[in-house]
Every structure is written in C-alpha cells, then in structure tokens.
C-alpha cells in the first residue's frame, strides 16, 4: 500500500519487516509523501494456559476455530502455538458473524468467545456467547455468559458446569413426574378390578414428599459434581 502511494521503502527495512512477519508480529509502517520513515512491530503472545485450554476443549468434543483480523502469517503462528487447526485470518467484524452463520447453516452449534467490540456481532450471532470480564462492556452486554477473570481455563469449566446443569434439570423433571405417573393411576384404582388394590392416602402423601426430596437432593449433588 505504501509503495502504491509513491513512498520508497528501504530494502533493509523491508527485509526486517518480513522477518517480523515470519515471527507472527504485525508491522505498522510510518511514511511521509516520499520515503518510509519507520516500521514498528507489534507482537502477540498466547496466554500461558491457552494450549492446555484448547486441549481440554478438544477432549470434550469441541472443535476450536480461530477468527481474527490479523494477517494470515500472524494468525497461523498463534494458532499453531495454541493447537488450533482451523484458522480464518484478515476477517472483519461482520465477516466473523457471517462465518458463524455458515457453520450454523451446516448444522453445527457454535460457541463464540470474545472480549472486544469487534467481536460483538459474532457474539450476538453465536448459539452460545462467552465474554471475558477483562474485555469491553459491549461484549459482556451481548454475551450469554461472562468469565469473571481473564483465565481461559475457566471456559471448559463453565461449559462442563452448564452441561451438568442441563442434565440435572432433566433428571429433576424425571423425578418430579415419575411419582405422579405411577401414583395417580394407582390412586384412581387402576389395579382394583384386577386384585382389589387401592393406594393408601398415607403412601400417596409420602411419595409426594419423596418426589420433592429427590429433586432437592439431586440439585445439591450438582455442587459436589462441579
């Protein structure tokens, strides 16, 4: 771009910039109307537990994707360090949302993790959106869930707790209905024509109480499992 504007680029500086790009740095050029004045390299480093977090997500059946506005060289380098196989670089904010929509169209359920304003559209589009508390307010406003730290390791933990919660809700519905499904026909005398059995009201009351105890106890187990 700078060359197209008529500014000259020093060969030594260009070589240095290319080496920075190979190291996954983003290069910012400074130039006047005639010459390139300087080049600045800005590098990203992955968090200490990023690779471990990606491995844990893969272990529970989640395929990580990386969507970034950075250049392809930088994106591939960071993704390789983190253990992410699918990378989309040079993606604008609207492009992130479009890519998520394409994944959803193919039948996938998509969870988006983001912390910036540029991620807000993608967070809104995802089936599950997760923001980091260290990020922008708009990302947290849009997200379904906010991790109250910048610790990436909390993401698989949050997903595990969410799955356990949904499983517990389903189990509680079972325990809430099973007593009634069995008890109501018995109380109505469904077995009386066959063997003369009638349900004692005391047993019916005890079963109703046991139903509530089962639901509460199963809910308390969630804390132990988590």
Write the pLDDT tens digit of every residue in 31-75: 887 788 888 888 777 888 999 999 999 999 999 999 999 888 888
Mean pLDDT for all residues in the chain: 88
Instruction: For residues 189 and 201, give the distance between their C-alpha atoms in angstroms, rounded to a whole number.
Output: 12
How far are the Cα atoms of 5, 7, 39 from residue 34, in angstroms, in the given order? 9, 4, 15
Domain boundaries, the chain: 3-43, 50-150, 158-225
Distance of CA 190 to the CA centre of its chain: 50
As given in the structure block, the two tokens for residue 56 are 């844990």
130 bridge partner residues? 113, 145
The model's confidence at residue 211, banded by pLDDT at 50, 70 and 90, is: confident
Look at residue 194 in the predicted model and tell me its pLDDT.
87
| Cβ–Cβ under 8 Å, residues 6 and 56 | no
Percent of the chain whose pLDDT exceeds 90: 45
| Cβ–Cβ under 8 Å, residues 2 and 32 | no
Phi, psi of 173 (to 5 degrees): -60, -40
The residue with tokens 């809104």 is: 124
143-184 per-position pLDDT tens digit: 999 998 888 999 999 999 999 999 999 999 998 888 878 888
The model's confidence at residue 198, banded by pLDDT at 50, 70 and 90, is: confident
Domain 50-150 has CATH 3.40.50.1000: yes
94-139 per-position pLDDT tens digit: 999 999 999 999 999 999 999 889 999 999 999 999 999 888 889 9
Q: Of 171, 124, 164, 129, which is closest to residue 146 (Cα–Cα)?
A: 129
User: CA torsion, points 60, 65, 66, 67, in degrees to nearest 10?
Assistant: -140
The model's confidence at residue 226, banded by pLDDT at 50, 70 and 90, is: low
| Cβ–Cβ under 8 Å, residues 204 and 187 | yes
Confirm whether pTM is higher than 0.95: no
Instruction: For residues 63 and 106, give the distance between their C-alpha atoms in angstroms, rounded to a whole number.
Output: 14
Percent of the chain whose pLDDT exceeds 70: 97
Look at residue 5 in the predicted model and tell me its pLDDT.
67
């Amino acid at each position: 771009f700078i060359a197209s504007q008529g500014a000259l680029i020093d060969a030594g500086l260009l070589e240095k910039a290319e080496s920075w790009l190979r190291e996954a740095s983003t290069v910012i050029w400074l130039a006047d109307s005639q010459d390139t004045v300087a080049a600045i390299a800005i590098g990203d480093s992955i968090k200490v537990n990023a690779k471990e977090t990606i491995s844990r997500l893969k272990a529970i059946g989640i395929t990580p994707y990386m969507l970034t506005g950075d250049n392809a060289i930088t994106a591939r380098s960071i993704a390789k360090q983190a253990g992410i196989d699918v990378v989309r670089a040079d993606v604008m904010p609207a492009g992130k949302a479009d890519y998520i929509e394409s994944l959803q169209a193919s039948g996938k359920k998509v969870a988006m993790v983001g912390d910036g304003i540029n991620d807000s559209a993608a967070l809104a589009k995802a089936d599950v959106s997760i923001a980091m508390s260290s990020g922008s307010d708009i990302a947290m406003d849009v997200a379904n869930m906010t991790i109250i730290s910048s610790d990436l390791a909390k993401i698989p933990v949050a997903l595990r707790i969410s799955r356990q919660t949904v499983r517990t809700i389903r189990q509680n519905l079972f325990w809430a209905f099973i007593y009634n499904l069995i008890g109501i026909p018995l109380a109505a005398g469904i077995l009386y024509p066959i063997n003369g059995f009638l349900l004692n009201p005391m047993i019916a009351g005890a079963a109703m109480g046991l139903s509530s105890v089962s639901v509460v106890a199963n809910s308390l187990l969630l804390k132990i499992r988590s």
